[in-house]
Amino acid sequence: MARTALVTGGSRGIGAAISIALKAAGCNVAATYAGNDEAAAKFTAETGIKTYKWNVGSYEESQAGIAKVEADLGPIDIVVANAGITRDAPFHRMTPAQWHEVIDTNLTGVFNTVHPIWPGMRDRKFGRVVVISSINGQKGQFGQVNYAATKAGDLGIVKSLAQEGARFNITANAICPGYIGTDMVMAVPEKVREGIIAQIPAGRLGEPEEIARCVVFLTADEAGFINGSTITANGAQFFV
């Protein structure tokens, strides 16, 4: 039976690779995006994957958007909370606005995405929740007090959801990508980025497909006993 999957931030970067990989694994996939209509239209034209526009930072928008996806594709079995932003600045220059934007999107956005879907997963006694965290939630990062707080928070979310969902055959797991060759990492000043790559034993940035592979693994029907875990995919840059 084909599973229905929702991927937030699923039309670009790591999210796009996840959407494509889940489709290839036989799922009906819906991908959300926040603002880039052109990229979303191009993604749908190229992949046949439907895209939906809403702000994951808004509970009301998430609830309405999820209801629309479920009306179109059926109940959501797999949810990948991937949407995320950076507003990097050293702490002494980080503004309250930069703090709140990142918290709203990356952390509250996970609540807003999973919460409306969760009751249906409990009723149907099946669910796969994957949250895309980050190496920087594990180790912290100069200039990312806001982002690192959200990505560390993701790990607390999945460990708690795992305990609540287990008896309903719902799993919740996190993936901690290292530095992957996406727009987000390419936005880091070139000199800083070169310094980062020098710290990766693999000697290169990761590929979005290398994260998508982890998602396919965790969301399989057969992965029911993998619950509350964190998969690290960072080219050996950091070990917990």
Residues that bind ligand CAA (CB under 6 A): 86, 88-90, 134-136, 141-144, 147, 179, 184-185, 188-189, 192
Which residue carries 């980050």 as its tokens? 134
Pick between residue 76 and residue 214 the one whose CB is nearest to ligand CAA: 214
Long-range residue pairs from 158-161, CB within 8 A, at least 24 positions apart, any chain: 158/129, 158/131, 158/228, 158/230, 159/228, 161/114, 161/129, 161/228
Q: How many CB atoms lie within 10 A of CB 239?
A: 8
Pick between residue 90 and residue 156 the one whose CB is nearest to ligand CAA: 90
Structure token pair of residue 96? 């309250």
As measured in angstroms, the least distance from the Cβ of 204 to ligand CAA is 14
- Residue 178's closest CA among 199, 154, 157, 194? 199
As measured in angstroms, the least distance from the Cβ of 119 to ligand CAA is 30
CA distances from 67 to 71, 75, 133 (A): 6, 9, 25
Pick between residue 67 and residue 192 the one whose CB is nearest to ligand CAA: 192
**Residue with the closest Cβ to ligand CAA?**
143
As measured in angstroms, the least distance from the Cβ of 88 to ligand CAA is 4
DSSP state letters, 186-207:
HTS-HHHHHHHHHT-TTSSPBP
Pick between residue 72 and residue 183 the one whose CB is nearest to ligand CAA: 183
Give Cβ neighbours of residue 48 (< 8 Å, ≥ 6 apart): 23
Instruction: Give the residues across from 5 on adjacent strands.
Output: 29, 78
Pick between residue 140 and residue 228 the one whose CB is nearest to ligand CAA: 140
Instruction: Give the residues across from 30 on adjacent strands.
Output: 6, 50
What's the CA gap between 117 and 124, in Å, rounded? 11
- Which residues are marked as active site? 147
As measured in angstroms, the least distance from the Cβ of 59 to ligand CAA is 24
As measured in angstroms, the least distance from the Cβ of 186 to ligand CAA is 9
